A and B are shown apart, each in its own frame.
Chain A
Amino acid sequence: MVKSSSEKIIGRIVTTIGVLLALLWSLAPIYWIVVTALKTSREIYAVPPTLLPARPTLANFNTALFNSKFPQFVLNSATVAISVTLISAVVGALAAYPIARMEFKGRGVTARAIVMAYLLPPSLLFIPLFLVLQNLGLINTKTGLVIAYLTFTVPFCTWMLIGYFRTIPRELDEAATVDGATRLQTLLRVVLPIAKPGLAVVALFAFTHAWNEFLYALVFVHSNDTKTFTAGLTGLIMGDTFIWGQLMASSVIAIVPILIIYIVAQRYIVEGLAAGSVKG
């Protein structure tokens, strides 16, 4: 590749400045959450604001963890998110297999319905779902919230898994069928073991979505034993005064599980994103 040396130097300077700006933009708000969480309430309102906490303290974390309802909310979030993840992985895998592999009437329509359901935004569905859950007596229950999240995660998992299943050579499950395996056995013993990385990414996405979700939690649950942390934190900001230290400490705690997932699976997540919406 021919490149003049001046072009190279300019390129390097532009790249360096660009990367520094991108890092500053991406990290500054996150840094500000963490630093605020570590400050005393007096220092939080100090003018000028301090870039580093003068007297770092864990008092806000202490309050959030031991002196508030927040741990209960986190536990509710975990219960809901794990249930959603398990159900949608199973239901999604079952639905994705026939669409990826089998011939049946209505396959095209089914695939289209799945994509459309995945694209349908929750903000369009929250009032009608409220009515349906109310009729079923499931408002303010974790079951109701799990059902609400399935409306997004099931189409999403199915859609992603169709893509993963298609990357597996067809000969493998044809061989299993010839050997007399039923379709269910083929799915469980041949396809799923190979699709394990894909299944893991899909499960992670489903978990993240259920963990982070805000609108349905806000509308469908409202008592301490059902509220997820997103709805719980909203309770804190709805008061007249904002307890920023405690809010930011709670935020840090709530980000940790997602951050761990994200660091562990970063590479797969990027690949998964690309596989899910466009051909990789």
Chain B
Amino acid sequence: MQQAATDAARLPKGFTAPPIPRRNPARKPDWLVAYLFLAPAAAVFAAFIAYPLVDGILTSFTDQMVGKAGAYVGLANFTRLLGDAHFQRAAANSLFLTTGVVAVKLVLGLACAVLLAQKMPARGLIRALVFLPWAVPGLIAGLSWKWIFDEQAGVLSYLVMALGITDQPVYWLSDPRIAMLSIGVAMVWHGLPFFTMMFLAALTAIPGDLTEAAAIDGAGPIQRFFKVTLPQMKEVIFVTVMLSAIWTFNSFHMVFILTGGGPAMRTHILPTLAYDYGITQSQLGLGAAVLVSVIPVFVVLIVLLTRRMLASKN
């Protein structure tokens, strides 16, 4: 300000300063700047997301192996998968695990969120401890449960026998029927805190006067929860369930570490089967076909979720 005043005093009489331009005319147009800013992200997207995705789809129509170029084989990989018992089993396992684990996490997550929203001593510390599994790397969560489920020296086998529930060792990870449940338990353990955190954040954002009014009208706590609280959490529940469905479907590490898809390939989920075919057995074309076969499911999930997430941000 000071500087401007003295400058004006030095100017010759009769001089009128040109109006200050709101935008520097020499500056690049805004849209060009926007594209420049977006360029690095767009490069990553084009080269390492979009291109590989297209390349993967094309590969699924070839018999490409690791270290050997493939030839076009049409739908051969897909027709082979349709008649493949391992593929059918893996698809069923994926469906069973994803829906089961997400449903359990939804119910327990709501319960935990309601619980942790109550007034109690050391609430902050208790919340942090309940959230702790979320901070454990997935691989280590898997290792920890593999050790718990260990059939010779694992603590769970001992507990079950010591409590007299059974006098036979339980094959937590080598009996395929039990193994799927064991994998599910480990997945719930690792994924539950995300649900609890999301629901707790939503719960604390609900104004208290509504539930209070319902209480005055004589609604019991259970009725209040289902009639007043839950409807207000609809949006958060939708987004959390969809995100978790994608991630749970994607829990490669749990299956890979706990059972490796065995025994006899009966506990594979689609991503681990794709790894087995594509990387372990070097049949990249067939592995890619396994992945391509789940794209339609993801397109539906992702389109639905994208719409909601964009809407919530605008």
Contacts and interface: CB of A to CB of B under 8 A. Distances in A.
A associates with B: yes
Interface in A231-280: 233-234, 237, 242, 244, 247-248, 251, 254-255, 258-259, 262-263, 266, 270-271, 273-274, 277-280
A103 B31 contact: yes
A128 B138 contact: no
Interface string A181-222: 011100000000000000000000000100110110011000
B5 interface: no
| Interface size classification for chain B | 35 or more
Interface stretch (B71-79, B83-91, B145-153, B170-178): B145-153
Contact of B312 (A1, A127, A158, A279): A279
Interface string B128-152: 1111110111111101111110101
A219 B250 contact: no
B137 A128 contact: no
Contacts of A121: 246-247, 249-250, 271, 298
Contact of A44 (B22, B53, B153, B239): B153
A21 to B, nearest CB: 9
Contact of A23 (B48, B129, B153): B129
B40 A95 contact: yes
B34 A98 contact: yes
A227 B154 CA distance: 29
B191 interface: no
A22 B123 CA distance: 13
B115 interface: yes
Contacts of B4: none
Contacts of B197: 270, 273-274
Interface of A: 1-3, 7, 11, 15, 18-19, 22-23, 25-27, 29-30, 32-33, 36, 44-45, 47-49, 90-92, 94-95, 97-99, 102-105, 107, 110-117, 119-132, 147-148, 150-151, 154-155, 158, 162-163, 166, 177-178, 180, 182-184, 208, 211-212, 214-215, 218-219, 230, 233-234, 237, 242, 244, 247-248, 251, 254-255, 258-259, 262-263, 266, 270-271, 273-274, 277-280
